[in-house]
Amino acid sequence: MERRRLGEAAARGEPPAPGMRRMMDEALEAPRRYFGPGAFGLDAAGRLWVISERSGADSTEVDVFDAGSAFLKTVVLRDRVQVLAFRGSQVAALVMRTAPEFEGILGIDLYLLEE
């Protein structure tokens, strides 16, 4: 929770809180993998979908880019998306459930793509 609060303060342009420099240095010394092997997907319209790690614990932000690599939008999907698969106007998301009664259970969510 503290890291999130500090990150939000930094995003607002506030000066770093005491100890923030140490946390930043630790993060740079031990980089983490932000994208899994299924983090990228192409839909039928040639748009690139990239699963990010920016969202909270109960959702996933997916950035969408056009065929020329221009950013189009960010789509927020529920739960923690592991992999995306596209077919026609549909996208299937393999997700790790985050609701307390289903936490840790894998599921597949289907969405219709906007044209």
Q: What is the pLDDT of residues 62-78, one digit of tens each?
A: 999 988 889 999 999 99
Q: How confident is the model at residue 97 (pLDDT cuts 50, 70, 90)?
A: very high
CA dist., res. 23 & res. 89, Å (int): 43
Q: Parse the chain into domains and list their residue ranges.
A: 1-32, 34-112
Beta carbons of 93 and 106 less than 8 angstroms apart: no
Q: What secondary structure does DSSP assign to 76-100, as a single string?
A: EEESEEEEEEEETTEEEEEEE--ST
Q: What is the pLDDT of residues 13-53, one digit of tens each?
A: 666 666 656 766 665 565 554 566 678 888 988 999 999 87
Give one word for 19, left, alpha or beta, with left for phi > 0 and alpha for psi -120 to 50: left
